[in-house]
Amino acid sequence: MDKFKVLLAGAKDRLLHLLFPRTCFHCRVDMARGDKNLLCPACLKELKFITGLVCRRCGLPLKDGGALCFACRKRRSKRFKCSFIRSGLEFTPVSRSLVHAFKYEKYIHIASFFAPLLYKTWQNNPEFFEADLLVPVPIHKSRLRSRGFNQALLLARGLSGLCGVPVADVLARCAKTKSQTALGRQARAANVKGAFVCLDKAAVKGRAVVLIDDVCTTSATMEECAIVLKSAGAREVLGISALRE
């Protein structure tokens, strides 16, 4: 009987593969049957977890070392509200494909691929251990309607399941901002200025909060969220992103 079940399961597997051959999310090569990875072995090798020297504040990889990246150094006199950011993967064509499939092609199960990477980033940095809450970077409600989910909330839930810190979805994006992708550093900061509100000040008052986002580029979005959380009474605001551009 057991043998029959195994045979049946195998047949189901083969049939599924025949009907819906799974392909690598980056190079689209057919995946070997039974390979549950999102990427083919060659692309999987191209994923780079951030190790080595990074900016002390924003976590940007620094090829030549130093304590702070150029942008954080320039602003040193003006203290950042988001005091510490770290990210999981380097932004490469392969990691970009995964985020793209997750956000735009709505393969939401990719969130469970990123969760352990966020957790690894968490574990590597004791700064996060005192956190009380995980707060996802919000998307505007019109985008939420068209996409159907906030990718940052799914990531925050995934991380929460591993680190045990609860999620508080307390921020809203009130202004419909332009996509940050095509904008330079200053334009990005201006684009998100005043774009967020805190919906539940009591929840964040006196708390150490970790912002969660899919991609961090200039950290302007996290900084703007942190300004709002700090003025709502948060004690400390840190950030984790899945990717670092």
Q: Which residues form the interface with Zn ion (CB under 5 A)?
A: 24, 26-27, 40, 43, 55, 57-58, 60, 69, 72
What's the closest the beta carbon of residue 178 comes to Zn ion, in angstroms?
A: 23
What's the closest the beta carbon of residue 13 comes to Zn ion, in angstroms?
A: 21
What's the closest the beta carbon of residue 222 comes to Zn ion, in angstroms?
A: 11
What's the closest the beta carbon of residue 80 comes to Zn ion, in angstroms?
A: 9
Kindly report the three-state secondary structure assignment for every residue of 46-80.
Answer: HCCECCCCECCCCCCECCCCCCCCHHHHHCCCCCC
CB-count burial class (<10 Å; 0-12, 13-18, 19+) for 143: middle
What's the closest the beta carbon of residue 47 comes to Zn ion, in angstroms?
A: 11
Tell me the Ramachandran region of residue 211: left when phi exceeds 0, alpha when psi lies from -120 to 50, beta otherwise.
beta
Kindly report the three-state secondary structure assignment for every residue of 199-213.
Answer: CCHHHHCCCEEEEEE
Provide the β-strand partners of residue 82.
Answer: 237
C-beta of 24 vs 137, nearer to Zn ion: 24
C-beta of 43 vs 155, nearer to Zn ion: 43
C-beta of 133 vs 215, nearer to Zn ion: 215
What's the closest the beta carbon of residue 217 comes to Zn ion, in angstroms?
A: 12
Do residues 243 and 215 lie in contact, with contact meaning Cβ atoms separated by under 8 Å?
Answer: yes
Q: How far is CA 28 from CA 24, 114, 214, in A?
A: 4, 20, 22
C-beta of 7 vs 42, nearer to Zn ion: 42
C-beta of 27 vs 108, nearer to Zn ion: 27
Do residues 211 and 122 lie in contact, with contact meaning Cβ atoms separated by under 8 Å?
Answer: no
C-beta of 60 vs 155, nearer to Zn ion: 60
Task: Name the one residue in this structure whose structure tokens are 């380097």.
Answer: 90
C-beta of 97 vs 151, nearer to Zn ion: 97
Name which of 133, 108, 111 is nearest 239 in CA terms. Answer: 133
Do residues 90 and 79 lie in contact, with contact meaning Cβ atoms separated by under 8 Å?
Answer: no
164: its two tokens = 């045990």
What's the closest the beta carbon of residue 32 comes to Zn ion, in angstroms?
A: 12
